[in-house]
C-alpha cells in the first residue's frame, strides 16, 4: 500500500502536466497559462470537430479545463494527461450533443455547410470541386453518432494511435477498431459516387 | 494473396497492423491497384478533412485563458470567505428588517444622500385574488387595469433623491408605505439605476425574478427554490472584455433537482452559494457532494453553464457591439401557510444565521420576499445600512 502510494507520488512528480495542474489549481497563474497553452488548441479542435459551432466549442473548452482542475483528485496518474483531457472534452461534447438531440437542435449540418461554403470561397477555382467534396465529408462526419465521431476525430484529426484512443475514451482496443471501421464505412457510404473524385 | 478486407486496409493505413501483417499487406497493395486506390482515396479524404480546420485566432484563446483562470481563482478564494456569508445574509435580512420596521421612504432619502446608495425598495400591492407578480401588469403600470395602486408612480433616481420623498406628489404609493396598505403579496427591491427598466420593461424582469428554472441549464429548483435572476442592461464589448464586469455565478442554494440525460432525476443536494464578487468579494459555500456526478454531467454544474452562457453572449459581440444582459442576484424567501420558512434558501439561512426567521414580522410570513444581492452587499460592507441587530 505504502509502496503504491510512493510509486504513485513518484509518478506524479515525473508528470510535469500534473505538477502544472496542481499549481494552477492553487492559483499559480503562470502554471495555468503554461498548461492551458499546451493543450488549448487540441482541446478546442476536438470540441469543434465534435460539436456544431464555435460557441459550443468554446464552452466545451472552458468546461474541460475547469473540470480538469476540479476533478484533479480523481485523476489516475497511470494515464497520460493528454488522454485525460481528451476524455473530459469528448464526454462534454457527447453530453452537449445529447442535450441538443433532446431539444431537437440539430443545426450543425448547416454550420458545416456554411464552413464548407467559406472554404470554397477562399480557394481558387480549380479547387472548388474538391472543396465541395470536403463539405460533403464534413456533413458525413457530422452524421455519425457521437461515439463513432469521437473515435474518428481522435484518430483522423488528432492522429492518436488506437491505444491512445482507447485510453482517452476508456474503451477497449477492439471497440476502437470496430467503431473506427464503422465510422469510415458510413462516411464512404454517405459520399457514394462523390468518392470517385479521390479514387 | 486475396485482397484484404476494408478494415485491414484501414488498419494498414493507420499503421496499426503487426509487423508481419504490415509487410504482407504492403506487398499486396504494391501489386493491386484497386486496394491502392482505395487506400489513397481514404488517405486523401481524411487528410483534406484534417487540413481544412481553421484554428481561431490566438487572442480568442487568450481571452478564454483569462476567463478560466479568473473563474478558478475565484472558486478557490471563495472558500476563505465563508464567514462573510453570514454577514451577507445578515445584510439581506437587514434590508428586509429595514423595510419592515422603518419608514422606508426616509431611509431611502438618507441613504441616497451620501451618494453611495444604489438601492431602493418598493412594495407592490396587489389584490388578494390575483396574488401574483404583475408580469403583465408592469407594462401597464399606472393604468387603471394594473393590480397595483392605480396612482403608483415609479420614481426616477432623481426624484428619490429629492428631499421631500416622504411626501410624494405623484402618487400615494411611491416608495414604501404602510399607511393604507392592503395585505402585501409581494415585495421586492431593485437597484435605483435600473428601476425604470425593471418596472417598465417588457415584463421580463418580473418573469425572470421569479422563475424556478435557471436560464442556460436544465436545473429546476426543487420545492420553493431560492434563486432568481433579473436582467439589467449592460454594454459589453469584447475588446473590453478584461475590463468588463463579468457576472459571477448565479446565486443558488438549497436542494435542486436535476433532469438527467435519460429523463431520470437526481437530487443533487446543496449546491453553491455565490455572490456578486465584482461588487464585493464575499462568500461561497461549495457543498456539492462528490456523488452528484458533477464531472460527468454538464447539467449538474450550473455555475459553469451560466458562465458558458455568458461567454457565448460575449462572443456574439465580436462583430459588432450589442446590448447584452447580465444577471443580478436575488434571494427569495418563502413562507408556508403556517408562517414558517419553506424554501431551500431558508435552510441555508438557518445554517448561516441561526434564528433569522424570528426577525421576520408575522405579517410577512405569508409572503415571498425577494431581495437583490447586487449593490446591497456593498452598502453593508461600507456600513451604510444599520445592521439588523440594531433595529428595534
Neighbours of B371 (CB within 10 A): 24
Which pLDDT band, with edges at 50, 70 and 90, does B117 fall under?
Answer: very low
Contacts of A133 in chain B (CB under 8 A): 48
Please give the helix or strand (H or E) that residue A11 lies within, else none. helix A2-14
Listed range (A37-46, B11-20, B88-97, B365-374) with the worst mean pLDDT: B88-97
Q: Nearest Cβ partner of B69 from A29, A98, A191? A: A29
Q: Are B154 and B141 in contact (CB under 8 A)?
A: yes
Residue B38 in contact with partner chain A when CB distance is under 8 A: yes
Question: For residue B367, which of B124, B106, B86 has the smallest C-alpha distance?
Answer: B124
Let me know the angle formed at the C-alpha of B174 by B230 and B142, rounded to the nearest 5 degrees: 75
How far away is chain A from the Cα of B46, in angstroms, using its nearest Cα?
6
pLDDT at A105: 45
Checking if the pLDDT of A23 tops 70, the result is: yes
Residue of chain B with shortest Cα separation from A135: B49
Percent of the residues in chain A that have a pLDDT greater than 70, as a whole number:
74
pLDDT at B10: 93
Contacts of B56 in chain A (CB under 8 A): 44, 54
pLDDT tens, residue by residue, B318-338: 222 222 233 333 445 566 667
Listed range (A88-92, A195-199, B311-315) with the worst mean pLDDT: B311-315
Q: Which residues contact B130 (CB under 8 A, 6 or more apart)?
A: B147, B185
pLDDT at A102: 57
How far away is chain B from the Cα of A62, in angstroms, using its nearest Cα?
6
What are the distances in angstroms from CA B184 to CA A95, B175, B181, B224? Answer: 45, 14, 7, 19
| A71–B295 C-beta distance less than 8 A | yes
How far away is chain B from the Cα of A13, in angstroms, using its nearest Cα?
23
Contacts of A46 in chain B (CB under 8 A): none
| Better pLDDT: A106 or B219 | A106
What is the number of structural domains in chain A? 1
pLDDT at B275: 27
pLDDT at A152: 95
Which pLDDT band, with edges at 50, 70 and 90, does B58 fall under?
Answer: confident
Neighbours of B389 (CB within 10 A): 10
Give the structural domain span for A124: 2-197
Which pLDDT band, with edges at 50, 70 and 90, does B9 fall under?
Answer: very high
How confident is the model over B162-167, as a mean pLDDT?
26
Instruction: Assign residue A31 the CATH number of its domain.
Output: 1.10.1740.10
How confident is the model over A131-160, as a mean pLDDT?
89
Could you give the CA distance from residue A32 to residue A97 in angstroms, rounded to a whole number? 28
Could you give the CA distance from residue B66 to residue A89 in angstroms, rounded to a whole number? 19
Question: For residue B330, which of B226, B246, B257 has the smallest C-alpha distance?
Answer: B226
How confident is the model over B138-142, as a mean pLDDT?
24
Task: Give burial (CB, 10 Å; 0-12/13-18/19+) of B337.
Answer: exposed
pLDDT tens, residue by residue, A172-192: 888 899 899 999 999 998 888
Quote the ipTM score. Answer: 0.81
Contacts of B40 in chain A (CB under 8 A): 198-199
CA B15 to chain centre: 50
- Cell numbers placing A159: 492522429
Let me know the angle formed at the C-alpha of B71 by B66 and B77, rounded to the nearest 5 degrees: 125
pLDDT tens, residue by residue, B352-382: 444 556 655 565 555 555 444 333 333 333 3
Q: Which residues contact B253 (CB under 8 A, 6 or more apart)?
A: B226, B227, B270, B271, B272, B273, B285, B344, B345, B347, B348
Amino acid at each position: 500500500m505504502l509502496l503504491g502510494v510512493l510509486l504513485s507520488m513518484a509518478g506524479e512528480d515525473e508528470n510535469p502536466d500534473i505538477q502544472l495542474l496542481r499549481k494552477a489549481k492553487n492559483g499559480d497563474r503562470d502554471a495555468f497559462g503554461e498548461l492551458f497553452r499546451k493543450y488549448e488548441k487540441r482541446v478546442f479542435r476536438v470540441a469543434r470537430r465534435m460539436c456544431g459551432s464555435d460557441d459550443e466549442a468554446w464552452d466545451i473548452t472552458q468546461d474541460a479545463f475547469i473540470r480538469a482542475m476540479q476533478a484533479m483528485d480523481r485523476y489516475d496518474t497511470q494515464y497520460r494527461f493528454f488522454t485525460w483531457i481528451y476524455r473530459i472534452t469528448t464526454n462534454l461534447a457527447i453530453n452537449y450533443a445529447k442535450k441538443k438531440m433532446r431539444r431537437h437542435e440539430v443545426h450543425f449540418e448547416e454550420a458545416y455547410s456554411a464552413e464548407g461554403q467559406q472554404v470554397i470561397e477562399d480557394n481558387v477555382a480549380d479547387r472548388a470541386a474538391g472543396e465541395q467534396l470536403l463539405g460533403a465529408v464534413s456533413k458525413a462526419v457530422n452524421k455519425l453518432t457521437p461515439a463513432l465521431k469521437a473515435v474518428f476525430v481522435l484518430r483522423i484529426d488528432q492522429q492518436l494511435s488506437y491505444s491512445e484512443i482507447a485510453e482517452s475514451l476508456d474503451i477497449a482496443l477492439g471497440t476502437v477498431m470496430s467503431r473506427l471501421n464503422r465510422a469510415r464505412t458510413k462516411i464512404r457510404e454517405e459520399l457514394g459516387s462523390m468518392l470517385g473524385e479521390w479514387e | 494473396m486475396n485482397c484484404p478486407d476494408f478494415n485491414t486496409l484501414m488498419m494498414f493505413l493507420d499503421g496499426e497492423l503487426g509487423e508481419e501483417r504490415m509487410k504482407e499487406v504492403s506487398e499486396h497493395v504494391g501489386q493491386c491497384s484497386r486496394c491502392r486506390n482505395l487506400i489513397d482515396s481514404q488517405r486523401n479524404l481524411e487528410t483534406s478533412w484534417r487540413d481544412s480546420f481553421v484554428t481561431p485566432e490566438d487572442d480568442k484563446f487568450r481571452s478564454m485563458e483569462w476567463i478560466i483562470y479568473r473563474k478558478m481563482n475565484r472558486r478557490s478564494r471563495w472558500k476563505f470567505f465563508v464567514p462573510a456569508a453570514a454577514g451577507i445574509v445578515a445584510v439581506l435580512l437587514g434590508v428586509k428588517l429595514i423595510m419592515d420596521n422603518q419608514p422606508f421612504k426616509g431611509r431611502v432619502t438618507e441613504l441616497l444622500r451620501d451618494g453611495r446608495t444604489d438601492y431602493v425598495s418598493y412594495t407592490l400591492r396587489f389584490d388578494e385574488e390575483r396574488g401574483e407578480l404583475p408580469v403583465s401588469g408592469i407594462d401597464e403600470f399606472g393604468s387603471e387595469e394594473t393590480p397595483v395602486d392605480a396612482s403608483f408612480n415609479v420614481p426616477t433616481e432623481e426624484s428619490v433623491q429629492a428631499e421631500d420623498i416622504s411626501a410624494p406628489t405623484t402618487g400615494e404609493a411611491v416608495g414604501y408605505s404602510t399607511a393604507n396598505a392592503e395585505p402585501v403579496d409581494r415585495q421586492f427591491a431593485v437597484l435605483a439605476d435600473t428601476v425604470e427598466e425593471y418596472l417598465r420593461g417588457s415584463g421580463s424582469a418580473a418573469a425572470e425574478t421569479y422563475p424556478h428554472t435557471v436560464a442556460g441549464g436544465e436545473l429546476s429548483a426543487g420545492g420553493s427554490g431560492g434563486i432568481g435572476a433579473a436582467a439589467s442592461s449592460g454594454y459589453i464589448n469584447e475588446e473590453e472584455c478584461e475590463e468588463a464586469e463579468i457576472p459571477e455565478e448565479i446565486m443558488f442554494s438549497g436542494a435542486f433537482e436535476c433532469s438527467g440525460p435519460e429523463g431520470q432525476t437526481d437530487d443533487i443536494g446543496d449546491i453553491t452559494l455565490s455572490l456578486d464578487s465584482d461588487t464585493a468579494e464575499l462568500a461561497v459555500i461549495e457543498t456539492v457532494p462528490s456523488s452528484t456526478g458533477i464531472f460527468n454531467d454538464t447539467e449538474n454544474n450550473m455555475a459553469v453553464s451560466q458562465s458558458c452562457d455568458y461567454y457565448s453572449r460575449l462572443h456574439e459581440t465580436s462583430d459588432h457591439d450589442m446590448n447584452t444582459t447580465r444577471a443580478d442576484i436575488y434571494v427569495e424567501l418563502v413562507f408556508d401557510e403556517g408562517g414558517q420558512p419553506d424554501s431551500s434558501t431558508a435552510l441555508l439561512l438557518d445554517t448561516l444565521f441561526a434564528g433569522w426567521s424570528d426577525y421576520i414580522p408575522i405579517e410577512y410570513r405569508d409572503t415571498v420576499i425577494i431581495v437583490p444581492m447586487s449593490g446591497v452587499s456593498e452598502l453593508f460592507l461600507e456600513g451604510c445600512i444599520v445592521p439588523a441587530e440594531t433595529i428595534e
